[in-house]
A and B are shown apart, each in its own frame.
Chain A
Amino acid sequence: MNGRGLWDWGFALEILHERLIPALGVTVLATVGGMAIALVLGLVVTLMRRSRNRIVSRTAGFLIEFVRSTPLLIQIYFVFYALPQILPFLGDGRLSPMMTGVVALGIHYSSYTSEVYRAGIENISRGQWESATALGFSASDTWLRIILPQAIPPIIPALGNYLVAMFKDTPMLSTITVLELLYTAKDIGSESFRYNEAFTLVGVLFLALSLLSAAAIRFTERKLAVAR
């Protein structure tokens, strides 16, 4: 083991500071970006599914089923490798690995967030819709002022769980050369032949952030319970 034993604190602190913390930034950025897409796209798909136009609602339903029933890794590969071949006119306009990863995570998780939104919206009683109609609210005002403000607070914990799940799926982006935690750890290992510190620290970082997020979700849940 290079004569430095199984664990070298100096080396560990060095890679933590110089390589892993920046890589954690990339991982967090991918998670936040992916979640932003998943939150918006999931809501859009949910609204499409509720459309009175059969073609729109069926298409949305099919897309959700399709995305949810295929592995994330294949979707990432598809967007990264296959899509530029299918759409060659994109040319150099193809997405960077990071953007590809964020988009793929966002699309994949929108199929889950849309189910969460759906449950939240279906929990709103018919009387709320009828009151909004009786008072003359437009469709957009009904959604923005009456329905969503009631539907979203109760589903924040469920959305938070998907945030944590997405965070733990980000290592898949290493397969398309995104310099996130796993890719960086592998790099460190192959350069220094010391894998123990790198992978242990990556695990600890994931653990720490997951626990932090879970605590934040519980805090939000309690806040919401008090506010109701």
Chain B
Amino acid sequence: MNDTPMIRTRGLSKAFGPLKVLRELDLDIPAGQVVSIIGPSGSGKSTLLRLLMTLERPDAGTTEIAGEPFLAAGAGCVPVPESEVRRIRLKIGMVFQHFNLFPHMTALRNVMEAPLHVAKLSPAEARQRAEETLVSVGLGDKLDAWPAQLSGGQKQRVAIARALAMRPQIMLFDEITSALDPELVGGILDLLRGLANAGETTMLIVTHQMRFARQSSDRILFFDQGVVLEDTDPETMFTNPSHARTRAFLDAVLGAD
């Protein structure tokens, strides 16, 4: 059972019209691994996360979560019942670039809403869990604040707490620092580092923060034109990548740093 990867994709493909965003992706991610996904925009990084979160549906291929069939599309595959998809999806949480907080709820309410109505905790339990989670992301003093009263960094902390409060086994982070003012990026990355070091959650992090990817991940995937061009440990990725394309990309982003 320990050999079963937390995420396994086979032949996962997605196109938007004529544009093939993801081409037959085969990927195994063990439980607890922290994976950074880098690459030029439009290379399919975010699409992979959105497929795993079922925000998009694949055109072909399969995905298993902890050994259970989750996504299946294309010729000859057995479709997964929607009830199964909904059940397994609860193991996955996602944080978005633009926070997507619920503006009509306080920070506390944003975080406790899913534990209360999806996980069906009692109001007292949901509230306690939400408070603890908000405290853990450093927002113990903002429980009753409205999203409109929070800074970008604080909003993103609420969004992270909101996803964590459902205790997912897998967390997907989709460019979560890209919409932040530069001085707020560090705090969010520290928070991510803490999560990564705790080692309990399998993390997929789409990011442009190269230093973070290098220091804090177990493994880095370099996406280019819908395929994983490079799949290696951080040191090899940055010191000795095997593809010229990877080297060119890294030179370009690191040069701009």
Chain A positions near chain B (C-beta within 8 angstroms): 125, 127-128, 130-131, 133-138, 141, 145-146, 149-150, 228
Contact = CB atoms under 8 A, between A and B. Distances in A.
Given A133-B54, A135-B162, A146 B114 contact: no
User: Which 7 A-B pairs give the minimum distances between C-beta atoms?
Assistant: A127-B100, A135-B114, A131-B100, A134-B94, A136-B118, A136-B90, A149-B104
Given A130-B55, A141-B117, A141-B118, A136 B86 contact: yes
Contact of B163 (A133, A135, A145): A135
B100 A130 contact: yes
Nearest to B103: A150
A146 B54 CA distance: 19
A145 B117 contact: yes
10 contacts: A127-B98, A127-B99, A130-B55, A130-B100, A133-B55, A134-B92, A134-B94, A135-B163, A141-B117, A145-B117
Nearest to B159: A131
Given A134-B94, A136-B89, A128 B114 contact: no
Given A127-B98, A130-B100, 9 more contacts: A131-B100, A131-B101, A133-B54, A134-B53, A134-B55, A134-B93, A135-B93, A135-B113, A137-B114
B35 interface: no
Interface in B92-150: 92-94, 96, 98-104, 113-114, 117-118, 148
B72 interface: no
A141 B115 CA distance: 13
B117 A127 contact: no
A136 B163 CA distance: 10
B166 interface: yes
Q: Please classify how large the interface on chain B is, using the bins under 10, 10 to 19, 20 to 34, 35 or more.
A: 20 to 34
A145 B99 CA distance: 18
A227 to B, nearest CB: 9
A131 B96 contact: yes
B102 A146 contact: yes
A82 to B, nearest CB: 44
Given A127-B98, A131-B96, A136-B90, A145 B53 contact: no
A228 B149 CA distance: 11
Contacts of B148: 228
Contacts of B55: 130, 133-134
Contacts of B113: 135, 145
Contacts of A145: 113, 117
Given A127-B100, A146-B102, A149-B104, A137 B54 contact: no
B68 to A, nearest CB: 16
Nearest to B146: A228
Contacts of B101: 131
A96 B86 CA distance: 48
Nearest to A150: B104
A3 B86 CA distance: 81
A137 B94 contact: no
Contacts of A127: 96, 98-100
Nearest to A130: B55
B29 to A, nearest CB: 18
B118 A135 contact: yes
A137 B118 contact: yes
A149 B104 CA distance: 7
A125 B102 CA distance: 11
Contacts of A128: 100, 102
Interface in B54-110: 54-55, 86, 89-90, 92-94, 96, 98-104
B250 to A, nearest CB: 31
